[in-house]
């Protein structure tokens, strides 16, 4: 995505599940995306998402991401001898919901969207680790005849074994829609 994180303000397909869950409410009805990308040293990224917008009831989505780092040779620290190979990976399964405010009688909310994604995340390097993470998103209605849209998203708020909540990142974006 050449727009970087600004895509969170204009996501118009099932990729919204990843970039800004609130944008799932903007998808006309159904959307599916699948990606395969090969990287260096036999590493690859696979992802897919499906979103179904039910209109006034909101939109639901499901997706997956899988990054495989390929086979890596493990060597002993002091001798440099091969100790075998391992295959690190990251995997996430995502489930989301988004709602566009409409007809509630509160003009300040009209046309704005909120969304949330719950992710089950697994990572394996030498050991396996698992956690649950959440993404939250907001998408404004269009301003200035639909030319400006604001979005805000927070991703990877996780709760680990210590019960501390951590947020890896977030963004506030404005995008100028094509005229």
Mean of the per-residue pLDDT values of the chain? 79
Confidence of residue 65 (pLDDT cuts 50, 70, 90): very high
Which of 34, 12, 45 is CA-nearest to residue 151? Answer: 12
Which of 67, 11, 14, 15 is CA-nearest to residue 43? Answer: 67
Which of 6, 20, 77, 70 is CA-nearest to residue 49? Answer: 20
Report the pLDDT averaged over residues 120-147.
82
| pLDDT tens digits, 70-98 | 887 777 777 777 777 888 899 999 999 99
Rounded Cα–Cα distance for residues 89 and 43 (Å): 9
């Amino acid at each position: 995505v050449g727009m970087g994180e600004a895509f969170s303000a204009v996501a118009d397909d099932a990729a919204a599940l990843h970039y800004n869950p609130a944008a799932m409410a903007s998808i006309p009805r159904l959307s599916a995306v699948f990606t395969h990308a090969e990287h260096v040293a036999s590493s690859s990224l696979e992802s897919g998402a499906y979103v179904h917008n039910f209109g006034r009831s909101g939109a639901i989505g499901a997706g997956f991401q899988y990054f495989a780092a390929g086979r890596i040779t493990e060597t002993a620290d002091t001798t440099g001898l091969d100790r075998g190979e391992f295959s690190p990976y990251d995997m996430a399964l995502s489930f989301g919901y988004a709602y566009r405010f409409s007809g509630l009688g509160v003009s300040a909310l009209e046309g704005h969207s909120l969304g949330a994604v719950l992710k089950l995340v697994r990572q394996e390097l030498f050991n396996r680790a698992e956690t649950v993470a959440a993404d939250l998103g907001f998408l404004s209605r269009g301003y200035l005849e639909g030319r400006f849209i604001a979005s805000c998203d927070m991703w990877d708020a996780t709760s680990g074994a210590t019960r501390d909540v951590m947020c890896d990142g977030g963004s506030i974006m404005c995008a100028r829609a094509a005229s």
